[in-house]
Amino acid sequence: MTMKTGKQYIESLRKLNPKVYCFGEKVESVVDYPLFKPHVHAAAMTYELAHKPEFQEIMTATSHLTGKRINRFTHIHQSTEDLVKKVRMMRLLGQRTGTCFQRCVGLDALNGIYVTSYDIDQKYGSKYHEHFKAFLQYVQQNDLMSAGAMSDPKGDRSLRPHEQDDPDVYLRVVERQSDGIVIRGAKAHITGSINSHEIIAMPTRAMGPEDRDYAVSFSVPVDTEGITLIFGRQTNDTRRLEGELDAGNPKYGIVGGEALIVFDDVFVPWEQVFMCGEHEFALELVETFAGYHRSNYGGCKVGLADVVIGASAWIAESNGIERASNIRNTLTEMVSMAETCWSCALACSYEGYQTPSGGYMINPLLANVEKLNITRFTYEWMRLAQDIAGGIIITLPSQRDFEHPEIGKYIDKYIKGKKGFSTRDRIKMYRLIENMAVGAGLPEAMQGAGSPTAMRIMIGREANIERKKELAKVIAGIREDRYFQDITQMKEDKAKAKGKNSRK
C-alpha cells in the first residue's frame, strides 16, 4: 500500500497500542475516545484529500527514492515548486478543517533530518543518512503519520542541558549498547502525537561538547515500551462532549491536540538513530526543522483565516449589516493581513535553495518574517472577527437550553436574525467564531514552531544590517558611490550567504 485513505488511517491506528492518559485515566482506544475524535478526523483529512483527483497535484508527490506516487506529507522537497505546493497543501487543509491537522510537524522532521543527517555523514563518515533513507522509505510505503518531537521541558532556562539539577529535563542518551541506545527524558507540547504512528525526536537547542548525550535524534513507534503520552487540556475542550451546537467545530476540534511524551528508558535500535553525540549539528537540525515549520504557518493559519473571514461575513449578513461600510472595511482589512502572510509563505518557498543532501530548504529570513507576522496578524484578524460577531459569542446560551421544551422558544425568538437565517444555524456560526477567535488557536499561533523571540533571533542573524549600513553611507554621502563595485559585492555576498545556507 502506498497511500492510505482517511478510513484506512483510522483503522491503522487501531492496530497500535500506545500508553495514553487523559483526565487521569488510561485511554483504551485513541480512535474511539470522544475527546480525541476531532483530532483524529482532522489528521484523517490529510489522507482523504490525497485521493481527490482535483487535489492530486498538491496533495501527492513522486518519491525520489522509489519513483512511486506518495502522500506529500511523506515527501522530501525536490524543488522550489515542491515547497510551494507544500504551503498550498497547508492552506487547503486549513480551509477544509478549520483547525490544526497536525501532520506537518512530522513532515518537517523528515525533511530536517534528511538534510542534517547527510551533513553529519559527510563530516564523520557515519551511516545516519543511509539509515534515515531506509526509514523514510518505510514511512512512504506505509503512508505513516509521524509526530515531530522537538521541545524539551527545559527546567531552569538559564542552565544548559548538562548543568540542570535534574538531568532528565532534556531528553538524553543514558546508555549506548552494541545494538542501540537507551533514552530517558520527555518531549513537551507534541502536536498530533497520540494519533501518530511514529515519534521522531530531535534536539531542541544548540548543544556544546558537554551536552553530547543530549544531541540525539531517532524514531520509534508510538507504542514502544517505556513511552507514556499525557494529553494536554485546551480551552473549552469538554464542550465537544456536551453537544454539537456548543462545540464550535464539532468534527475537527479547536487546535492540534498536544501531549507530554515521557521516555522511561526506551530502547532505540541503531538503525533508527539519526544523530547521537554530534553536538555541533544540533543547532543545524533545530534551525532547519524550525525553518520548514515556520514556513507552514502562512499556509495553515491563512486557511483558518479564510474560514473565520467567511464566518464573519455570514454573521454580518444574517444580522442584515453586510452592506455597512465598517463591516466591508473590516473584512477587507482581515483579507489584507491574511494575504500578507500568504505572500510570505509563497516567497520563502520560491526563494528556497538546494542543500548538499539534494533536499530543498526554504529561505530562512522570509520564513521567520512570515511566522513573526502570524504571531501578530492572527490575533488581529481574530480580534476583528470578534468585533463583527459581537459580544454574543461569549454570552450565548447552551444547546440544552436551546432544545429545552419550555425555554427553547425564547432563544429561538430572541437570537433570531434576518429572515432566511435559522437561529440554529446562527448559533453554529457564532460558536465557530468563538472556537476560532477566543480559543486555544491564538496561543498556538504565537508559540507554535517557536516563540516570537526565536524568530527575531533568526531574522537578526539573517538580515545583514552591515550591508544596509554601507548602502546608507553611500546615499548620505559619507562614502564614495561605487555603484558597480557595490553591485558586484552584493552578488558576492549573496553567493557567500547561499553557500553558508546550503552549508557547502
Q: Report the catalytic residues.
A: 100, 104, 191, 258, 293, 297, 300, 444
By the rule CB under 6 A, 272 interacts with ligand SF4: no
Can you tell me the distance from the alpha carbon of 83 to that of 296, in angstroms, rounded to the nearest whole number?
10
List the one residue from 448, 450, 455, 458 that touches ligand SF4 (CB under 6 A): 448
- Among the listed residues 40, 105, 245, 346, the single contact to ligand SF4 using CB under 6 A: 105
Contacts (CB under 6 A) with ligand SF4, residues 337-396 = none
140 neighbors 68 (Cβ within 8 angstroms): yes
Q: How many binding residues for ligand SF4 (CB under 6 A)? A: 11
Q: Which CB, 101 or 128, lies closer to ligand SF4?
A: 101
Query: Which among 43-51, 94-102, 169-177, 218-226 is the span making contact with ligand SF4, rule CB under 6 A?
Result: 94-102
CA distance 274 to 211: 17
Q: Which of 97, 75, 96, 95 is nearest to 86 (CA)?
A: 75
Helix axis angle for 325-350 and 282-318, nearest 10°, is 160
Least CB distance to ligand SF4 at residue 300 (A): 3
Closest approach, Cβ 121 to Fe ion, in A, equals 30
Please give the residues from 240 up to 259 whose contact with ligand SF4 meets the rule CB under 6 A.
256
- Please identify, using beta-carbon distances, which residue of 260 and 388 lies nearer to Fe ion: 260
Q: For residue 169, what are the contacts with CB-CB under 8 A and spacing of at least 6?
A: 152, 153, 154, 155, 161, 185, 186
- Angle of helix 423-438 relative to helix 364-389, nearest 10 degrees, comes to 140
Residue number with CB closer to ligand SF4 (203 or 256) = 256
Q: Does 303 bind Fe ion (CB under 5 A)?
A: no
d(CA 212, CA 79): 33
Task: Give me the least distance between CB of 94 and ligand SF4, in Å please.
Answer: 7
Partner from ligand SF4, Fe ion, none binding residue 300, C-beta < 5-8 Å depending on class: ligand SF4
Shortest distance (Å) from residue 468 CB to ligand SF4? 31
- Site membership for ligand SF4, residue 234 (CB under 6 A): no
Please choose, out of 95-103, 131-139, 355-363, 411-419, the segment that lies near ligand SF4 by the rule CB under 6 A: 95-103
Match 542518551 to its residue by C-alpha cell. Answer: 173
Contact 394, 438 (CB under 8 A): yes
At a CB cut-off of 8 Å and minimum separation 6, what does 241 contact?
A: 34, 35
Question: Of 87 and 282, which has the nearer Cβ to ligand SF4?
Answer: 87
By CB under 5 A, tell whether 448 contacts Fe ion.
Answer: yes
How far is CA 344 from each of CA 105, 226, 293, rounded to the nearest angstrom?
19, 41, 13
Question: Among 186, 199, 347, which residue's Cα sits nearest to residue 260?
Answer: 186
Judged by beta carbon, residue 273 or residue 382, the one nearer ligand SF4 is 382
Cell numbers of 326, please?
A: 465598517
DSSP 8-state class, residue 157: T
For the CB of residue 93, give the shortest distance to Fe ion in the complex, in Å. 13
Q: Contact at 8 Å (CB) between 464 and 497? A: yes
- Minimal distance, residue 321 CB to ligand SF4, in Å: 32
Q: Which stretch binds Fe ion (CB under 5 A): 131-139, 423-431, 446-454, 456-464?
A: 446-454
Residue 50 C-alpha cell reads as: 490525497
Looking at the Cβ atoms of 105 and 113, the one nearer to ligand SF4 is: 105
27 torsion bin: left (phi>0), alpha (psi -120 to 50), beta (else): beta
Position with the least CB separation from Fe ion:
448
- Is residue 148 a contact residue for Fe ion (CB under 5 A)? no
One residue of 59, 300, 367, 374 binding ligand SF4 per CB under 6 A: 300
Q: Considering the rule CB under 6 A, would residue 196 count as an interface residue with ligand SF4?
A: no
Residue 112 or 448 having the CB closest to ligand SF4: 448
We find the least distance from the C-beta atom of residue 87 to ligand SF4, in angstroms, to be 10
* DSSP letter, residue 148: E
Does residue 336 contact residue 125 with C-beta atoms inside 8 Å?
no
Instruction: Provide the sign of the torsion angle of the four alpha carbons 371, 373, 377, 379, taken in this order.
Output: positive
Decide if 224 contacts 196 (C-beta within 8 A): no
Least distance to ligand SF4, CB of residue 375, Å:
12
> Which range binds Fe ion by CB under 5 A, 5-13, 75-83, 233-241, 448-456?
448-456
Q: Residue type for 157, please?
A: R
Stretch that binds ligand SF4, among 51-59, 292-300, 379-387, 489-497 (CB under 6 A): 292-300
Query: To which H or E segment does residue 69 belong?
Result: strand 69-71
Nearest to ligand SF4 of 183, 199 (CB atom): 199
Q: Give the Cβ contact number of residue 311 at 10 Å.
A: 23
Residues found near Fe ion in the complex (CB under 5 A) = 448
Residues found near ligand SF4 in the complex (CB under 6 A) = 100-102, 104-105, 191, 256, 296-297, 300, 448
